Amino acid sequence: MQNINSEFQKKLKMDSLELVSSNKIFGGDQKVYSHESSELQCKMNFSIYLPPQAEGGDVKLPVIFYLSGLTCTEQNFITKSGFQRYAAEHGIIVVGPDTSPRGVKIEGDDESWDFGVSAGFYLDAEKEPWAKHYRMGSYVNKELYDLIINAFSNVVDSKRIGIMGHSMGGHGALISALRNPGQYKSASGFAPICNPSACPWGVKAFSGYLGEDKSKWTEWDATELVRKYDGPPLTLFLDQGAADKFYIEKQLLPENLVQACRSAGVPVILKLREGYDHSYYYISTYIGEHFDFHAKILTA
Protein backbone atom coordinates (compact mmCIF):
# COMPACT_ATOMS: atom_id res chain seq x y z
CA MET A 1 0.00 0.00 0.00
CA GLN A 2 2.84 2.38 0.84
CA ASN A 3 4.44 1.88 -2.59
CA ILE A 4 1.10 2.40 -4.31
CA ASN A 5 0.55 5.64 -2.40
CA SER A 6 4.10 6.75 -3.22
CA GLU A 7 3.58 6.13 -6.93
CA PHE A 8 0.23 7.90 -6.80
CA GLN A 9 1.80 10.94 -5.14
CA LYS A 10 4.56 10.99 -7.74
CA LYS A 11 2.07 10.80 -10.61
CA LEU A 12 -0.03 13.53 -9.00
CA LYS A 13 3.01 15.80 -8.75
CA MET A 14 4.15 15.08 -12.31
CA ASP A 15 0.67 15.67 -13.67
CA SER A 16 0.71 19.14 -12.08
CA LEU A 17 3.88 20.07 -13.99
CA GLU A 18 3.90 21.59 -17.46
CA LEU A 19 7.08 21.21 -19.50
CA VAL A 20 8.16 24.61 -20.81
CA SER A 21 11.44 23.65 -22.50
CA SER A 22 14.02 20.87 -22.71
CA ASN A 23 17.55 21.08 -24.10
CA LYS A 24 20.34 18.51 -24.30
CA ILE A 25 23.61 19.70 -22.75
CA PHE A 26 26.72 17.78 -21.59
CA GLY A 27 24.84 14.51 -21.96
CA GLY A 28 22.02 15.55 -19.66
CA ASP A 29 18.75 17.42 -20.04
CA GLN A 30 18.16 21.02 -19.02
CA LYS A 31 14.45 21.34 -18.44
CA VAL A 32 12.11 24.10 -17.33
CA TYR A 33 8.70 23.33 -15.85
CA SER A 34 5.82 25.48 -14.71
CA HIS A 35 3.29 24.70 -12.00
CA GLU A 36 0.62 26.36 -9.92
CA SER A 37 2.08 27.29 -6.54
CA SER A 38 -0.16 27.03 -3.50
CA GLU A 39 2.27 29.08 -1.38
CA LEU A 40 2.54 31.97 -3.85
CA GLN A 41 -0.92 31.55 -5.40
CA CYS A 42 0.33 31.98 -8.95
CA LYS A 43 2.03 30.02 -11.72
CA MET A 44 5.78 29.60 -11.26
CA ASN A 45 8.65 28.31 -13.36
CA PHE A 46 11.60 26.29 -12.12
CA SER A 47 14.55 24.73 -13.90
CA ILE A 48 15.92 21.25 -13.33
CA TYR A 49 19.07 19.78 -14.82
CA LEU A 50 19.05 16.00 -15.03
CA PRO A 51 22.63 14.81 -15.63
CA PRO A 52 23.36 11.79 -17.84
CA GLN A 53 23.53 9.56 -14.74
CA ALA A 54 19.78 10.15 -14.26
CA GLU A 55 18.87 8.43 -17.51
CA GLY A 56 16.93 5.28 -16.86
CA GLY A 57 16.17 6.18 -13.26
CA ASP A 58 18.30 3.34 -11.91
CA VAL A 59 20.26 5.38 -9.37
CA LYS A 60 19.40 8.05 -6.79
CA LEU A 61 21.43 11.24 -7.23
CA PRO A 62 22.21 14.22 -4.98
CA VAL A 63 20.51 17.56 -5.63
CA ILE A 64 21.64 21.17 -5.39
CA PHE A 65 19.13 24.00 -5.27
CA TYR A 66 20.46 27.21 -6.84
CA LEU A 67 18.85 30.54 -5.89
CA SER A 68 19.37 33.49 -8.22
CA GLY A 69 19.82 37.15 -7.40
CA LEU A 70 18.07 40.46 -7.90
CA THR A 71 16.50 41.06 -11.35
CA CYS A 72 16.91 37.37 -12.29
CA THR A 73 14.54 34.59 -13.30
CA GLU A 74 15.19 30.85 -13.46
CA GLN A 75 16.92 31.48 -16.81
CA ASN A 76 20.03 33.44 -15.82
CA PHE A 77 21.90 30.63 -14.11
CA ILE A 78 21.09 27.93 -16.64
CA THR A 79 22.16 30.04 -19.64
CA LYS A 80 25.16 31.98 -18.26
CA SER A 81 27.04 29.97 -15.63
CA GLY A 82 28.10 26.82 -17.50
CA PHE A 83 27.30 24.73 -14.42
CA GLN A 84 25.97 21.81 -16.46
CA ARG A 85 29.50 20.63 -17.29
CA TYR A 86 30.27 20.16 -13.59
CA ALA A 87 26.86 18.78 -12.66
CA ALA A 88 27.32 16.15 -15.36
CA GLU A 89 30.83 15.28 -14.13
CA HIS A 90 29.66 14.80 -10.55
CA GLY A 91 26.24 13.33 -11.31
CA ILE A 92 24.28 16.04 -9.48
CA ILE A 93 20.72 17.21 -10.21
CA VAL A 94 20.37 21.01 -10.08
CA VAL A 95 17.10 22.84 -9.40
CA GLY A 96 16.59 26.57 -9.86
CA PRO A 97 13.41 28.42 -8.85
CA ASP A 98 12.38 31.87 -9.99
CA THR A 99 13.19 34.78 -7.65
CA SER A 100 9.69 36.08 -6.88
CA PRO A 101 6.02 35.46 -7.62
CA ARG A 102 5.07 36.07 -11.25
CA GLY A 103 1.68 36.81 -12.70
CA VAL A 104 0.34 38.74 -9.73
CA LYS A 105 0.04 42.51 -9.77
CA ILE A 106 0.61 44.43 -6.56
CA GLU A 107 0.75 48.21 -6.70
CA GLY A 108 4.38 49.31 -6.67
CA ASP A 109 5.82 45.84 -7.33
CA ASP A 110 7.70 46.98 -10.44
CA GLU A 111 8.80 50.45 -9.36
CA SER A 112 12.35 49.44 -8.36
CA TRP A 113 14.75 46.67 -9.32
CA ASP A 114 15.61 45.71 -5.74
CA PHE A 115 12.11 45.28 -4.31
CA GLY A 116 9.01 43.50 -5.58
CA VAL A 117 9.17 41.61 -8.87
CA SER A 118 12.47 39.69 -9.16
CA ALA A 119 13.34 40.62 -5.58
CA GLY A 120 11.48 38.24 -3.28
CA PHE A 121 14.47 37.89 -0.89
CA TYR A 122 13.53 34.27 -0.11
CA LEU A 123 11.49 35.23 2.94
CA ASP A 124 7.83 35.02 3.95
CA ALA A 125 6.41 38.54 3.90
CA GLU A 126 4.24 39.61 6.83
CA LYS A 127 3.36 43.14 5.78
CA GLU A 128 0.45 43.90 3.47
CA PRO A 129 0.02 43.89 0.53
CA TRP A 130 2.93 41.47 0.14
CA ALA A 131 1.97 38.79 2.68
CA LYS A 132 -0.41 36.86 0.43
CA HIS A 133 1.98 36.16 -2.45
CA TYR A 134 5.54 36.92 -1.33
CA ARG A 135 6.27 33.69 0.51
CA MET A 136 9.46 32.63 -1.23
CA GLY A 137 10.91 31.15 1.97
CA SER A 138 8.12 28.60 2.30
CA TYR A 139 7.93 28.12 -1.46
CA VAL A 140 11.59 27.10 -1.81
CA ASN A 141 12.04 25.16 1.42
CA LYS A 142 8.66 23.44 1.62
CA GLU A 143 6.58 23.46 -1.55
CA LEU A 144 9.24 23.22 -4.25
CA TYR A 145 11.50 21.07 -2.07
CA ASP A 146 8.71 18.52 -1.56
CA LEU A 147 7.64 18.73 -5.20
CA ILE A 148 11.12 17.84 -6.43
CA ILE A 149 11.47 14.94 -4.01
CA ASN A 150 8.06 13.51 -4.91
CA ALA A 151 7.83 14.22 -8.65
CA PHE A 152 11.39 13.02 -9.34
CA SER A 153 11.54 10.34 -6.66
CA ASN A 154 13.03 7.79 -9.05
CA VAL A 155 16.28 9.80 -9.35
CA VAL A 156 16.40 12.14 -6.32
CA ASP A 157 18.18 11.12 -3.13
CA SER A 158 16.29 13.10 -0.49
CA LYS A 159 19.10 12.60 2.04
CA ARG A 160 21.72 14.31 -0.13
CA ILE A 161 20.56 17.83 -0.89
CA GLY A 162 22.64 21.02 -0.92
CA ILE A 163 21.92 24.66 -1.68
CA MET A 164 23.81 27.55 -3.25
CA GLY A 165 23.02 30.98 -4.65
CA HIS A 166 24.21 34.37 -5.86
CA SER A 167 23.79 37.76 -4.17
CA MET A 168 20.17 37.85 -2.95
CA GLY A 169 20.12 34.14 -3.77
CA GLY A 170 23.27 33.61 -1.74
CA HIS A 171 21.42 35.18 1.16
CA GLY A 172 18.53 32.80 0.41
CA ALA A 173 20.81 29.76 0.36
CA LEU A 174 22.46 30.62 3.67
CA ILE A 175 19.24 31.34 5.55
CA SER A 176 17.57 28.25 4.07
CA ALA A 177 20.36 26.05 5.44
CA LEU A 178 20.45 27.79 8.82
CA ARG A 179 16.67 27.97 9.32
CA ASN A 180 16.14 24.32 8.37
CA PRO A 181 18.87 22.37 10.18
CA GLY A 182 19.69 19.11 8.44
CA GLN A 183 17.54 19.76 5.38
CA TYR A 184 20.56 20.87 3.36
CA LYS A 185 23.87 19.06 3.85
CA SER A 186 25.96 21.71 2.08
CA ALA A 187 25.64 25.47 1.51
CA SER A 188 27.57 28.03 -0.49
CA GLY A 189 27.10 31.50 -1.91
CA PHE A 190 28.56 33.72 -4.60
CA ALA A 191 28.69 37.31 -3.32
CA PRO A 192 25.89 36.59 -0.83
CA ILE A 193 24.09 39.31 1.08
CA CYS A 194 25.42 38.08 4.41
CA ASN A 195 24.00 40.60 6.88
CA PRO A 196 20.89 42.14 5.29
CA SER A 197 19.76 43.84 8.50
CA ALA A 198 22.86 46.04 8.21
CA CYS A 199 22.91 46.92 4.49
CA PRO A 200 20.72 49.18 2.30
CA TRP A 201 19.31 46.33 0.17
CA GLY A 202 18.29 44.35 3.21
CA VAL A 203 16.89 47.28 5.16
CA LYS A 204 14.68 48.21 2.20
CA ALA A 205 13.47 44.64 1.69
CA PHE A 206 12.94 43.82 5.35
CA SER A 207 11.13 47.09 6.04
CA GLY A 208 8.87 46.56 3.05
CA TYR A 209 8.14 42.86 3.52
CA LEU A 210 8.37 42.44 7.29
CA GLY A 211 7.70 45.88 8.78
CA GLU A 212 9.72 47.95 11.24
CA ASP A 213 10.00 45.35 14.02
CA LYS A 214 13.69 44.46 13.71
CA SER A 215 13.30 41.36 15.85
CA LYS A 216 11.57 39.83 12.82
CA TRP A 217 14.50 40.78 10.60
CA THR A 218 16.89 38.56 12.57
CA GLU A 219 14.85 35.50 11.55
CA TRP A 220 15.95 36.04 7.92
CA ASP A 221 19.52 37.25 8.42
CA ALA A 222 22.34 34.70 8.13
CA THR A 223 24.68 36.64 10.41
CA GLU A 224 22.04 36.65 13.15
CA LEU A 225 20.84 33.08 12.52
CA VAL A 226 24.31 31.53 12.73
CA ARG A 227 24.74 32.86 16.28
CA LYS A 228 22.07 30.41 17.48
CA TYR A 229 22.58 27.55 15.01
CA ASP A 230 22.47 24.19 16.80
CA GLY A 231 21.85 21.78 13.95
CA PRO A 232 24.04 19.09 12.35
CA PRO A 233 27.59 20.03 11.28
CA LEU A 234 27.46 22.55 8.44
CA THR A 235 30.28 24.36 6.68
CA LEU A 236 29.42 27.63 4.91
CA PHE A 237 31.39 28.45 1.76
CA LEU A 238 31.37 32.18 0.92
CA ASP A 239 32.85 33.36 -2.38
CA GLN A 240 33.41 37.06 -3.04
CA GLY A 241 34.87 39.12 -5.88
CA ALA A 242 37.19 41.79 -4.47
CA ALA A 243 36.31 44.20 -7.32
CA ASP A 244 32.56 43.76 -6.81
CA LYS A 245 31.11 47.27 -6.46
CA PHE A 246 28.39 45.99 -4.15
CA TYR A 247 31.05 44.49 -1.87
CA ILE A 248 32.92 47.79 -1.89
CA GLU A 249 29.67 49.66 -1.15
CA LYS A 250 29.01 47.45 1.91
CA GLN A 251 25.91 45.73 0.57
CA LEU A 252 27.26 42.20 1.09
CA LEU A 253 29.27 42.23 4.36
CA PRO A 254 30.77 38.71 4.29
CA GLU A 255 33.22 39.60 7.06
CA ASN A 256 30.30 40.12 9.44
CA LEU A 257 29.10 36.57 8.82
CA VAL A 258 32.62 35.15 9.13
CA GLN A 259 33.03 36.81 12.51
CA ALA A 260 29.64 35.51 13.68
CA CYS A 261 30.49 31.98 12.46
CA ARG A 262 33.76 31.96 14.34
CA SER A 263 32.07 33.18 17.51
CA ALA A 264 29.44 30.45 17.17
CA GLY A 265 31.90 27.71 16.24
CA VAL A 266 30.34 27.16 12.80
CA PRO A 267 32.97 26.32 10.13
CA VAL A 268 33.19 28.94 7.39
CA ILE A 269 35.31 29.43 4.28
CA LEU A 270 35.68 32.87 2.67
CA LYS A 271 37.49 33.15 -0.65
CA LEU A 272 38.20 36.67 -1.89
CA ARG A 273 38.80 36.71 -5.65
CA GLU A 274 41.05 39.58 -6.70
CA GLY A 275 39.84 41.52 -9.77
CA TYR A 276 36.44 39.80 -10.03
CA ASP A 277 33.11 41.59 -9.97
CA HIS A 278 29.48 40.64 -9.27
CA SER A 279 28.65 39.23 -12.69
CA TYR A 280 28.20 35.80 -14.26
CA TYR A 281 31.69 36.12 -15.72
CA TYR A 282 32.84 35.74 -12.11
CA ILE A 283 30.37 32.96 -11.31
CA SER A 284 31.27 30.92 -14.38
CA THR A 285 34.95 31.16 -13.44
CA TYR A 286 34.48 29.55 -10.02
CA ILE A 287 31.31 27.49 -10.38
CA GLY A 288 33.36 24.31 -10.78
CA GLU A 289 35.00 24.91 -7.41
CA HIS A 290 31.57 25.16 -5.80
CA PHE A 291 30.49 21.88 -7.35
CA ASP A 292 33.66 20.26 -6.04
CA PHE A 293 32.82 21.59 -2.55
CA HIS A 294 29.24 20.30 -2.63
CA ALA A 295 30.19 16.98 -4.22
CA LYS A 296 32.69 16.18 -1.46
CA ILE A 297 29.86 16.49 1.07
CA LEU A 298 26.94 15.09 -0.91
CA THR A 299 28.76 12.10 -2.40
CA ALA A 300 30.79 11.18 0.69
Catalytic residues: 167, 244, 278
Instruction: Report the first-to-last Cα separation within the chain, whole angstroms.
Output: 33
DSSP 8-state secondary structure symbol assigned to residue 212: S
Tell me which H or E stretch contains 293: helix 280-298
In whole angstroms, give the CA distance from residue 288 to residue 294: 10
Please, are residues 50 and 23 in contact by the beta-carbon 8 Å criterion? no
Beta pairing, strands 28-37 & 42-50: antiparallel
Please, are residues 144 and 198 in contact by the beta-carbon 8 Å criterion? no
Write the CB contacts of 253 (distance below 8 Å, at least 6 apart in sequence): 193, 194, 195, 198, 199, 223
One-letter amino acid of 155: V
Tell me which H or E stretch contains 89: helix 84-90
In whole angstroms, give the CA distance from residue 276 to residue 224: 27
Write the CB contacts of 113 (distance below 8 Å, at least 6 apart in sequence): 70, 71, 119
Residues of 14-37 as b/e, b for ≥16 C-beta within 10 angstroms? eeebeeeeeeeebebbbbbbbbeb
For residue 285, the number of C-alpha atoms closer than 13 Å in the C-beta half-sphere is 14
| 3-class DSSP assignment, residue 26 | coil
Tell me which H or E stretch contains 31: strand 28-37
In whole angstroms, give the CA distance from residue 73 to residue 260: 31
